[in-house]
Amino acid sequence: MKQRVVVTGLGICAPNGIGISEFSEAMFRGRSGIRYMETLRQLGFRCPLGAAPEVPQDIMERYFSALERRGLTATGLIYGAMAGQEAWYDAGLDVAPPEEPDWDTGVLFGTGILGVDTFREAVMQVDAGNVRRLGSTTVPQTMGSGVSAWLAGKLGCGNWASANSSACSTGTEAILQASWHIRQGRALRMLVGSCSDSGPYIWGGFDAMRILSSLDPADPAAASRPMSARASGFVPGSGAGALLLESLESARSRGARIYAEILGGAVNNGGQRGGGSMTAANAEGVRRCIRGSLEDAGVDSGAIDLINGHLTATTRDPEEIRNWCQALGRSGRDFPLINSSKDVLGHGLAASGSMESVGTVLQLSQGVIYGNTNASDLHPEISRQIDPACVPVKSRNHQVNIAAKASFGFGDVNSCIIFSRHNT
């Protein structure tokens, strides 16, 4: 019999808030983490805006020992290790003793590229003939599974420890993979999430593609405008989100707090056919992914109360809305409420799916809807498809029972999760 999977812990290291309490308040108030970065302007970036967590020294000392901080420069690893530890302790779990790991708990933490700054320093040292100066932390900070390995060792997790990488779909896909692992009875718990490094070496390629926001950098909070008529491209971001997933039976047996349940989901890709490409989605692939997630969850499309979309503030936003309408068979006033987190988080790349999933779970558990801060001027193609009231501009109290969270990424990859409020 398939195990039911619930969320019992949350962790976040986001551009607008570190820790669940600060993050949830920032999201409800529409507080932006997007900032002007003079370094980007000096490097010749067309878009000098970015969104990265600001981690003060006291928080670093809270999560990392003096020895662990030595030579630690991989921002993605820092963000992921912080978010993962918060989710672990938020779930009320203890660290495994030195004698034996917790064989029932695994870690799956995805990323796009880890430790770019660390890798750059390594390249410079090697080119200068200083291989011996690299130190012992270069490899753990630059390998794709670095966060999973760090968390598994720190917490003593002895089940599956791995990483996935699927561009902007990474975080959402990781959550689904971990939930399926539990559903199949292969683990009782999985610590899951994703992260992305910050800075010019990650964001430069997107600036070169001219797909970043071209709006006035003097007003950073207004620069990322998902679903807006003034949307001109996304603002690059970074950070990490983490969730502790657990079988319902395990959560009940230890009296754990349950934030939400994962009913199911789907992952696919459009094969870069039928209009799909490395940078554009095959519309039919997107629709199949959405419909597949409903089928796996055993949920009728009419039951969806909220969509947290991918919606990146590019010209693709109206097409995404069209795909949701066709996949759900709902439009106009019948369309669910929909929001995008990228208005205040920027586009967190590989971290986006996990950070946005944390936000989606918080909306379910707290009975709120986050507003679309910069969507008061709704794109006319979107307003022709759905009622503008479906795109709330301001946050409000509103009970959501079932929410769909989707991510679509470079390589024509798609993932969609169906979350539900847990009724005790």
Does residue 68 register a pLDDT over 90?
A: yes
Is beta strand 49-51 parallel, antiparallel or unpaired with respect to 105-111?
unpaired
Q: How confident is the model at residue 136 (pLDDT cuts 50, 70, 90)?
A: confident
Residue 413 and residue 297 share a domain = yes
| DSSP code, position 388 | G
Residue 126 and residue 13 share a domain = yes
**Which pLDDT score is estimated for 392?**
98
Residue 61 and residue 152 share a domain = yes
For residue 339, which amino acid is it?
N
Who's near 163: CB < 8 A, 6+ residues apart? 108, 109, 110, 111, 144, 145, 146, 147, 148
**Interatomic CA distance for residues 100 and 317, integer angstroms:** 49
Among residues 233, 260, 287, the one where a domain terminates is 260
Does residue 133 register a pLDDT over 90?
A: no
Average pLDDT estimate for 229-250: 98
Buried b (16+ CB within 10 A) or exposed e, 25-54: ebbbebebbbbebeebeeeebebbbbbbbe
Among residues 240, 260, 280, the one where a domain terminates is 260
Residue 240: both structure tokens together: 């990490």
Does residue 186 register a pLDDT over 90?
A: yes
Does residue 332 register a pLDDT over 70?
A: yes
Check: CB of residue 53 under 8 Å from CB of residue 238.
yes
**Number of structural domains the chain divides into:** 2
What's the gap between Cα 345 and its chain centre?
Answer: 10
Among residues 225, 260, 295, the one where a domain terminates is 260
- Rounded (5°) CA angle 248-84-422: 25
**Which pLDDT score is estimated for 119?**
86
Average pLDDT estimate for 147-172: 98
Does residue 123 register a pLDDT over 90?
A: no
Is beta strand 368-369 parallel, antiparallel or unpaired with respect to 5-14?
unpaired
Owner of token pair 């039976």: 249
What's the gap between Cα 203 and its chain centre?
Answer: 17
Check: CB of residue 148 under 8 Å from CB of residue 190.
no
Residue 239 and residue 184 share a domain = yes
DSSP secondary structure, 241-263, as one string: EEEEEEEHHHHHHTT----EEEE
Residue 248: both structure tokens together: 């319902």
Residue 51 and residue 90 share a domain = yes
Residue 298 and residue 256 share a domain = no
Residue 207 and residue 302 share a domain = no
Residue 210 and residue 96 share a domain = yes
**Interatomic CA distance for residues 5 and 169, integer angstroms:** 21
Does residue 1 register a pLDDT over 80?
A: no
Q: How confident is the model at residue 361 (pLDDT cuts 50, 70, 90)?
A: very high
Give Rg (Cα) of the chain.
Answer: 20
Domain of residue 319, residue span: 262-420
Does residue 90 register a pLDDT over 70?
A: yes
Average pLDDT estimate for 155-175: 98
Residue 33 and residue 10 share a domain = yes
Residue 327 and residue 337 share a domain = yes
Q: How confident is the model at residue 424 (pLDDT cuts 50, 70, 90)?
A: low
**Which pLDDT score is estimated for 238?**
98
Give the total residue count for the chain: 424
Check: CB of residue 281 under 8 Å from CB of residue 38.
no
Residue 290 and residue 204 share a domain = no
Residue 213 and residue 277 share a domain = no
Q: CATH number of the domain that 228 lies in?
A: 3.40.47.10
Q: Is the dihedral of CA 321, 327, 332, 336 positive or negative?
A: negative
**Which pLDDT score is estimated for 154?**
98
Q: What digits encode the pLDDT tens for the residues 32-62?
A: 999 999 999 999 999 999 999 999 999 999 9
